[in-house]
């Protein structure tokens, strides 16, 4: 019988400032919480995949992240590795864990993201290679250029970006563990400080210390545990290594290639998605993904989000836990975890009634990487 | 503060990019040209990114292009680069794109598709190709 991969356990630290705690300590806490949530003995874990965030870099000298973390956790796995895909890393390692489990390379794989970016000043404000000579710093400039082009081509307005920010913070207000729980108004968004025009402070995601982990195992093993699980129905990735030399760059994300493909592999369409966990490092990325995944037509994401359509109680549930803009910067792993909680029906006040299909996206390295998961009950 | 802190970050030429920066110092914007298929490209690379031929020559660009998109930095990320400044992706008339700055006009006047032309500016020991409006947006200097 074919082995099918499921997510059997989830866990995360609080997100915010953890002064004096190393990212490894946060990762260990998240791993232990995920094991306890699944009801799995840590000795059963025979796979380890990691997404090391940014502040540490992927290597300490010659020691890659998985080697150090696996040693600290006391794991001698059958399968391991670290993915360096920026914000696409977490969705990618969960997808890779599913492939490894289904191929029989391991049976129960721990997938961990962690970082201490908030306690590491300037973690994201790095110059981008030789282009730093022109002042290209951080990820915000590239995303501002995408927003500028969307506004130019389609008449997208600041208020449209603001709808995304306001919706995220309204979701955060319903999420007990969110880093930002105070809702904001559209007026507050419009008055927030400019960072890189056309993006304002409230277009930008939070910076956090924190870690998040999930356990991927076989459906057979999960069925014997006491907790409901989420199925990994399909996955796809697409990357744009040519960056801005690619003709479609700043108009679509690589999601335009892998998003519809992932949905088709799961046998569903955008209309079937009950809850969309869209990577949201900047508000513009949510608008681009609504188009690229087929929730609306190209260029129409601005009007699509008007009137609170993606806010709590709106027609499309997007990032009910607040995402990177309100819940905390969880590298994309918090998006996976919220999808699992929604499918289990344990999201409390923010539960999407009867959620059966969840879409999870990850996006990274200056709009050049993308990973998609479709999860189901 | 580091005495050099007000020097902006500078490129770090390597075996692939050294010729590009040397040409800039001589006031030329040199593109890579594939001897096999004729493809013109930037950034410089070891092979033609279209046909993988290894014989690459250079062709000097006209320096004319247009703003494909841009962003206006309103925060200072480096003391040598005080805000506001405009970072743009320029599409050259010959096809290749590069990241640069739009200078010589107020940030508020920069527009997508605005015609621009290269203007070489010395920064430290480097010469950077920046771009100024080729049309009426240019301010008298
Ligand atoms: Zn060629």
From the list B17, B70, B130, the residue facing A145 with the nearest CB is: B70
Same fold: A5-121+208-230 with A138-204+233-376: yes
Place of tokens 């995408």: A146
- CATH number of the A138-204+233-376 domain: 3.40.47.10
Measured CA to CA in angstroms, residue A238 lies from A101, A241, B31 at distances of 22, 10, 28
Task: Give the sign of the dihedral formed by CA A61, CA A62, CA A66, CA A72.
Answer: negative
What are the distances in angstroms from CA B25 to CA A17, B29, B81?
Answer: 46, 9, 21
Residue A55 makes CB contacts below 8 A (sequence gap 6+) with A23, A115, A116, A117, A119, A120, A123
What is the residue-wise DSSP string for A27-66? Answer: HHHHHHHHHHHHT--GGG--EEEEE--SSS-SEETTEEHH
Q: How far is CA A10 from CA A6, A140, A283, A363, in A?
A: 12, 30, 26, 21
Please tell me the predicted confidence (pLDDT) of residue A149: 98
Q: Please tell me the distance from the alpha carbon of residue A287 to that of residue A363, in angstroms, as a whole number.
A: 13
Determine, for residues B99 and A134 on separate chains, whether the beta-carbon distance falls below 8 Å.
Answer: yes
| Whether pLDDT at B2 is above 60 | no
CA atoms within 13 A on the CB side of A226: 6
Q: Which uninterrupted H or E stretch holds A82?
A: strand A79-82
For ligand 1, the distance from its centroid to the CA atom of residue B31, given in whole angstroms, is 13
Whole-angstrom distance between the N-terminal and C-terminal Cα of chain A? Answer: 20
Selection from A246, A241, A206 nearest residue A117 by Cα: A206
Band of pLDDT at residue B77, cut at 50, 70 and 90? very high
pLDDT of B3 > 80? The answer is no
Q: At what angle do helices A283-292 and A255-265 cross, to 10 degrees?
A: 50
Tell me the residues of A at the B interface, defined by beta carbons under 8 Å apart.
125, 127, 130-138, 141-142, 144-146, 148-149, 152, 193-199, 242, 244-245, 250
pLDDT of residue A40: 97
Three-state secondary structure of B24-65: HHCCCCEEEEECCCCCEECCCCCCCCCCCCCCEEEEECCCEE
Q: Does residue B27 register a pLDDT over 70?
A: yes
Alpha helix locations (H) across chain A? 23-38, 65-73, 89-102, 140-154, 158-173, 186-190, 219-223, 255-265, 283-292, 301-305, 323-326, 333-344
In this prediction, residue B4 carries a pLDDT of 60
CB-CB neighbors (< 8 A) of B97 in chain A: 244-245
Whole-number Å distance between alpha carbons of A250 and A253:
7
Higher pLDDT, B95 or A2: B95
Q: Specify the pLDDT at position A327.
A: 98
pLDDT by residue for chain A (377 residues), tens digit each?
A: 689 999 999 999 999 999 999 999 999 999 999 999 999 999 999 999 999 999 988 788 889 999 999 999 999 999 999 999 999 999 999 999 999 999 999 999 999 999 999 999 888 888 999 999 999 999 999 999 999 999 999 999 999 999 999 999 999 999 999 999 999 999 999 999 999 999 999 999 999 999 999 999 999 999 999 899 999 999 999 999 999 999 999 999 999 999 999 999 999 999 999 999 999 999 999 999 999 999 999 999 999 999 999 999 999 999 999 999 999 999 999 999 999 999 999 999 999 999 999 999 999 999 999 999 999 99
Domain boundaries, chain A: 5-121+208-230, 138-204+233-376
Count of CB atoms situated within 10 Å of the CB of B30 = 20
Confidence bin at B1 (pLDDT 50/70/90): very low
pTM equals: 0.97
* CA B135 to chain CA mean position, Å: 19
Condensed to tens digits (0 to 9), the pLDDT of residues B38-54 reads 999 999 999 999 999 99
Residue of A141, A152, A244 lying closest to B71 (CB–CB): A141
Q: A133: Cβ–Cβ under 8 A, 6 or more apart, which residues?
A: B8, B9, B10, B11, B123, B126, B128
- Interface check for B8 against chain A (CB to CB < 8 A): the answer is yes
**CATH class for the domain made up of A5-121+208-230:** alpha beta
| pLDDT at position A122 | 85
């Amino acid at each position: 019988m074919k082995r099918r991969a499921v997510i059997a356990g989830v866990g995360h630290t609080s997100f915010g400032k953890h002064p004096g705690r190393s990212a490894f300590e946060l990762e260990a806490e998240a791993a232990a919480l995920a094991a306890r949530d699944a009801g799995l003995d840590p000795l059963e874990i025979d796979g380890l995949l990691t997404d090391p965030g940014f502040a540490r870099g992927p290597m300490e000298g010659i020691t890659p992240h998985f080697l150090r973390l696996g040693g600290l956790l006391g794991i001698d796995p059958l399968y391991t590795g670290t993915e360096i895909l920026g914000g696409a890393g977490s969705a990618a390692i969960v997808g890779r864990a599913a492939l490894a489990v289904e191929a029989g390379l391991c049976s129960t794989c721990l997938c961990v993201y962690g970082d201490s970016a908030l306690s590491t000043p300037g973690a994201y404000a790095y110059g981008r290679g030789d282009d730093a000579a022109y002042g290209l710093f951080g990820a915000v400039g590239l995303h501002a250029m995408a927003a500028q082009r969307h506004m130019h081509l389609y008449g997208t307005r600041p208020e449209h970006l603001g709808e995304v920010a306001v919706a995220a913070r309204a979701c955060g207000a319903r999420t007990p563990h969110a880093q930002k729980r105070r809702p904001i108004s559209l007026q507050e968004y419009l008055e927030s400080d400019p960072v890189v025009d056309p993006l304002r402070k409230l277009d930008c995601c939070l910076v956090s210390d924190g870690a998040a982990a999930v356990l991927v195992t076989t459906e057979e093993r999960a069925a014997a545990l006491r907790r409901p699980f989420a199925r990994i129905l399909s996955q796809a990735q697409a990357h744009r290594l040519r960056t801005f030399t690619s003709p479609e760059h700043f108009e679509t994300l690589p999601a335009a290639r892998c998003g519809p493909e992932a949905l088709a592999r799961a046998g569903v369409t955008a209309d079937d998605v009950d809850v969309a966990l869209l990577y949201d490092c900047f508000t513009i990325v949510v608008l681009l993904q609504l188009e690229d995944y087929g929730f609306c037509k190209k260029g129409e994401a601005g009007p699509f989000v008007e009137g609170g359509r993606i806010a709590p109680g709106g027609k499309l549930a997007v990032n009910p836990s607040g995402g990177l803009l309100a819940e905390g910067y969880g590298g994309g792993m918090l998006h996976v975890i919220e999808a699992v909680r929604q499918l289990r029906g344990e999201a409390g006040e923010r539960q999407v009634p009867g959620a059966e299909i969840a879409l999870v996206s990850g996006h990274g390295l200056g709009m050049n990487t993308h990973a998609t998961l479709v999860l189901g009950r | 503060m580091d005495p050099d802190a007000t020097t902006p970050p500078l490129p770090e030429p390597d075996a692939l990019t050294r010729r590009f920066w040397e040409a800039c110092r001589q006031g030329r914007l040199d593109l890579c040209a594939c001897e096999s298929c004729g493809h013109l490209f930037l950034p410089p690379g070891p092979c033609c990114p279209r046909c993988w031929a290894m014989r690459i020559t250079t062709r000097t660009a006209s320096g004319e292009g247009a703003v494909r998109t841009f962003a206006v930095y309103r925060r200072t990320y480096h003391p040598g680069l005080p805000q506001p400044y405009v970072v743009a992706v320029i599409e050259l008339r010959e096809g290749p794109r590069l990241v640069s700055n739009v200078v010589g006009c107020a940030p508020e006047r920069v527009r997508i598709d605005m015609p621009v032309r290269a203007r070489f500016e010395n920064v430290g020991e480097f010469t950077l190709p920046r771009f100024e409006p080729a049309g009426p947006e240019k301010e008298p200097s």
